Amino acid sequence: MTEPQSPDVLPVGTILDGTYRLTRLLGQGAMGTVYEGHHTGAGKRVAIKVMHRELLAYPELAARFRREAKVTSELAHPHIVSVFGFGATPAGQPYLVMELLDGEDLQTRLERVGPLPLETVVQIVNQVASALGETHAAGVVHRDLKTDNVFLVRAPDGAVFAKVVDFGLSKVLKTSATKLTVARAVFGTPEFMAPEQAEGRQDAIDHRSDQWSLACLAWFAATACLPFTGPDVNAILNQVISAVPTPVGPGAPRIPAEVDKVLRRALSRHRADRFPTIRAFARAFEAAASGVSPDAPPTRRVAAPPPSVAVEAAQPPLQKAGEAGVEGPRRRRGVGRRLAITAALAISILSGVGWMLRDQPPISAWLQRAHAMLDGH
């Protein structure tokens, strides 16, 4: 006997705008549900993210969802997930049509295998920095970079190929008539947010805030220990604001001194003390990990897309559902992944102080040991 589905989940077989047939539920997040879809005309497989129905009651969230489509579709980069189109369900729920990725997000990888070799972390940092360097040049700050939002695409030769996903909390730095964030609201994931985010200083959030998040991600990927942690959200935010990373526990991989120095600079309390750009941080991180001066000529090659990943030289214009469909590599995501607290965010829109924080998922044996070691300090 099959378990009843949430009323917010569209039945498999639903056809959106006469074009996209939903073939499989992939997962659910704070803002929406992700399905595998099939373009009925072109025969292409895609991922379709449908906003939760109850969020339609909050116009700001619907506007943010639609902006994700616009922002992502304009970012043509091999290490950023591609958005090909958008539309709305008969109930008015907006949806995005994206490339389908085959692999796992970085959080799942860490829970599955524990800390990654430093060489692998360097590759991930370089690729993410390359992607976000492009978005920063376009005046867009991701603002929610974390291990859940970095997807590792499966490649036949086992090469590392990362893609940045989920620009739903992105901040457009250019002046706009539409502001989707109140002045003192807090958006992001506590363990990965910069001090200016934790303090709700929206005007202070810029490309250096993403640099902070990438440094947290690198620290976590290399050690399986979060640099900022605590028993509750307030404790974590207080530690972030103080900018004092939690010492890596005994038994966890040690961060080489030069690498530690680079990470701590990127995790500086004051933005001016961090690296001037996210790419500069990535170069320094690689140099420290390899023992090479950051001023030496670069020798690394830009990662080529895996054969299974269709990456186009130029991003196609944003299309409404019912127009062209594009195939992408398959993305899998388990139901019940780390979620943002939607209800809290909804309340924040009304009250003027917001939170968009994730739930705490079950952690791997590595993370359990890491927490135990920290508790013993």
Residue pair 233/209 in contact (Cβ under 8 Å)? The answer is no
CA 228/CA 273 separation, integer angstroms: 19
Q: Annotated catalytic, 8?
A: no
Which candidate in 144, 148, 166, 210 is catalytic?
A: 144
**The token pair that represents 278 in the structure block:** 């996210």
CB 319 within 8 A of CB 41: no
Packing angle of the helix pair 59-73, 342-351 (nearest 10 deg): 110
Active-site residue list: 144
